[in-house]
Chains A and B, each alone.
Chain A
Amino acid sequence: MTVSAQRSTKCEVTFDINGESRSVSVFPMARLLDVLRHELALTGAKEGCGEGECGSCAILMDGTLVNSCLVPVLQAGGTSIVTIEGLAGNGQLHPIQQAFLDCGGAQCGICTPGMILATVELLRKRPAPTLDEIREGLSGNLCRCTGYVQIFRAVADAAHRIASQ
């Protein structure tokens, strides 16, 4: 393996995370996923495939769903990030979290943070999604436990809960 003559230097990157401003000293090409997990101890986002196909590292950046394994941390500077850790508030689960719990939408839990954040994005765009829209909205998130049926039910259930709030 060739080693570049020019080593990178760490830089200060500041972003808002789950409502709190944080600064980290990191190499600019560090993956946001690694910074979240190793620098900020936010281990909710998981590494599944590491190539943007499984969605288990999904987070919300400036309100939109992204795979944090594909984001160099420098590009996250100045953004507002929400991870699964930021979803519950005041000791209360978010309605989507409660729906996943009640509908058996979570089994081993590896895909669950990404599934739930993908659901946040979906319900923001489509508050009353059809089954096809649910399937498309979650198509970038793989689950090897549930067979998806319970997850789709949980999303539909969450939509009802939010609508009747």
Chain B
Amino acid sequence: MRSDPADYLLVAPQSLHDAVALLASEPGAWLPIAGGTDVMVLYGAGKLPARKLVSIRDLRELRGIEEFPNEIAIGAGCTYTDLRKHPAIAREFPMLVSAASWTGGIANQNRGTLGGNIANASPAADSLPALLAYDAELLLTSVRGERRIAYRNFHLGYKKTAMYADELIRAIYVPRKYSGYVSFARKIGARQAQAIAKISIAGLGRMADGVIDDVRIALGSVAPVPLRLEKMEAVLLGKNVQSLPVEDLRRLVAAEISPIADIRSTADYRAVVAGNLVVEFLRQLSSGKAST
């Protein structure tokens, strides 16, 4: 059943300070809403549990992309469109740009935010494997202060995160250290635009003297959280890809993922395609060919 707007509060604080003060006044009672591309879908369907919403869309403190010598800070309120048109992001973090271009159509890219994609914590979210591969960090803010955590420690379980109820994501930091890396991003869905991913991958790596010098493999929709294949990455370090039988590579992938069957795909399909994607990434890595 459709929601009745009379049942929902929505306020728009004028500053980040006021917004986090509101969150702290009743922890867990207020749901932040930025572009609304997730929240309003639930609301429209009459399935939004929160009854009190706080709009953070117009908070200037959450906007903007700032370049520092060693990292880039992306305001949590930056939209996918903001990401797609930023020259430094396009140059140094092409997988983020690819993911932004896969997220909904243009209208949703104009509204949906990177912070929202992270906070919504869907294991199928398009931008999250790229953030994992790039070793992103999150700046969380509350009335208690700010703290910075590694993004890989953010997702604790299905839709469970390390964020406290009084916190907001303020910014996403990505380290500028990937020149010379090969990147490989793919989304497998019923349709490239709009459709939610059946499975997605962000692979990033570097070869030195014919062996893998650094490698990060992140997958979406194969576990309750966006997943880094950390054990497989450790096995791959220092190896020549050609020396590894494809069947061994597939076994390493299968050992770390736990795909499920749902409305979008089956567990078997996801397992097979996860193997295919990782093998293809490693082939491209060893041939030095970038592909995002």
Partner of A7, one of B7, B53, B111, B192: B7
Q: Let me know if A30 is at the binding interface, CB within 8 A.
A: yes
0/1 interface trace, chain B 31-48, chain A, CB 8 Å (1 if under): 001011100110111100
Residue in chain B with minimal CB distance to A10:
B6
Q: Which of B192-216 contact A (CB under 8 A)?
A: 192-194
Q: Let me know if B292 is at the binding interface, CB within 8 A.
A: no
Q: Given the complex, which residues of A lie within 8 Å of B8, measured CB to CB?
A: 4, 8, 27-29
Contact A51 B12 (CB under 8 A): no
Q: Which of B1-32 contact A (CB under 8 A)?
A: 1, 3, 5-12
Task: Give complex CA distance A27, B57 in Å.
Answer: 18
Q: Given the complex, which residues of A lie within 8 Å of B7, measured CB to CB?
A: 3-4, 7-8
Contact A64 B37 (CB under 8 A): no
Q: Let me know if A1 is at the binding interface, CB within 8 A.
A: yes
Q: Let me know if A130 is at the binding interface, CB within 8 A.
A: no
Q: Let me know if A87 is at the binding interface, CB within 8 A.
A: no
A139-B193, A140-B107 given; A29·B5 CB < 8 A: yes
Q: Let me know if A82 is at the binding interface, CB within 8 A.
A: no
A65-B110, A139-B193 given; A72·B105 CB < 8 A: no
Residue in chain A with minimal CB distance to B11:
A28
Q: Give the number of residue pairs across the A-B interface with Cβ within 8 Å.
A: 116
Q: Given the complex, which residues of A lie within 8 Å of B36, measured CB to CB?
A: 70-72, 75
Partner of A66, one of B45, B55, B107: B107
Contact A8 B9 (CB under 8 A): yes
Contact A29 B53 (CB under 8 A): yes
0/1 interface trace, chain A 55-68, chain B, CB 8 Å (1 if under): 10010000011110
Q: Given the complex, which residues of B lie within 8 Å of A118, measured CB to CB?
A: 105-107
Q: Let me know if B113 is at the binding interface, CB within 8 A.
A: no
A70-B36, A75-B58, A136-B193 given; A52·B10 CB < 8 A: no
Contact B10 A28 (CB under 8 A): yes
Task: Give complex CA distance A9, B108 in Å.
Answer: 28
Contact B106 A121 (CB under 8 A): yes
Q: Let me know if B160 is at the binding interface, CB within 8 A.
A: no
Partner of B40, one of A4, A72, A122: A72
Contact A27 B5 (CB under 8 A): yes
Task: Give complex CA distance A137, B107 in Å.
Answer: 9
0/1 interface trace, chain A 35-69, chain B, CB 8 Å (1 if under): 00000000000000011110100100000111101
Which 6 A-B residue pairings sit nearest by Cβ, starting from the closest?
A140-B105, A139-B193, A27-B5, A28-B10, A29-B8, A70-B40
Chain B residues in contact with chain A, CB under 8 A? 1, 3, 5-12, 33, 35-37, 40-41, 43-46, 51-53, 55, 57-58, 81, 101, 104-108, 110-111, 192-194
Q: Can you show 5 pairs from A to B with CB atoms below 8 A apart?
A: A72-B55, A121-B106, A139-B106, A139-B194, A140-B106
